[in-house]
Structure 1
């Protein structure tokens, strides 16, 4: 089973990539048989602001990068979205990535990890609304990371016991839906 961990921040000094690396290694460490995590970094994808001639819901992708993104997302069995909270919402890079394509999202179970103001709860709420409209299956797998800025100055994400338990619970739900 292929689980994509989508890094929803492209800013310099971002924490989302650290969280994604932690999630990926944690999945391997928890010993889930047949689960293959892959980090999908929006910074590396560098999707230009969507300006296609056709609405993505039509499935007509007239931009090469749009078709590449569609092909990539089509390969996932489940998705974990990681996003900071920006002004009570989620990152514009993630919004653009969601809006870039249509049918490739449908039917895939999703989990959500947020951090920032209110522990990322408002960004997660908004992502879930858009994801549901796109046809992603809400597995109710959520992790809100608390106090991330005051305890995460190292090169790697420093989870606490709450983070570890929360991730295990979220993965259990996500995998249940994906199977």
Structure 2
């Protein structure tokens, strides 16, 4: 069965990272939906700077480079989805609190059948300092979540079963 499931819509949390690209490619291959909602959550530059520098008086820039970069990333996600034969729509959402919350809120509004996300696979001490977006989405979403892990050390990302050498981790 290689036909697309026309009844299934997936929401892909896409940040342009190798992990989000890998998640989209795997989900397209395994879930075989026809429609995909590409979601890129972004945080305004003034909030990023305030958090990094603990300043709270920075004003919003009407031409925020973070929003411009997020829009480009989202467009790249749509292009990738379309190259995989999917009908894709772009969604750019501003993260008011946490990226995972923006993803869950968008899923509540868009009502997909599944949320797709990649993960960096951070563990140990480092995981104490960096929260996992995928883990938070998994625990707060009202729909199933398809989480794709990063490439394992030494894994080259080729799909030996396809015979094409298609790099699923690029």
TM range (shorter): 0.3 to 0.5
Rg (Cα) greater in structure: 2
Q: More helix per residue: 1 or 2?
A: 1
Comparing both chains, which one has the higher relative contact order based on Cα–Cα distances under 8 Å and sequence gaps of 6 or more? 2
Output the TM-score relative to the length of structure 1.
Answer: 0.35
Output the TM-score relative to the length of structure 2.
Answer: 0.36
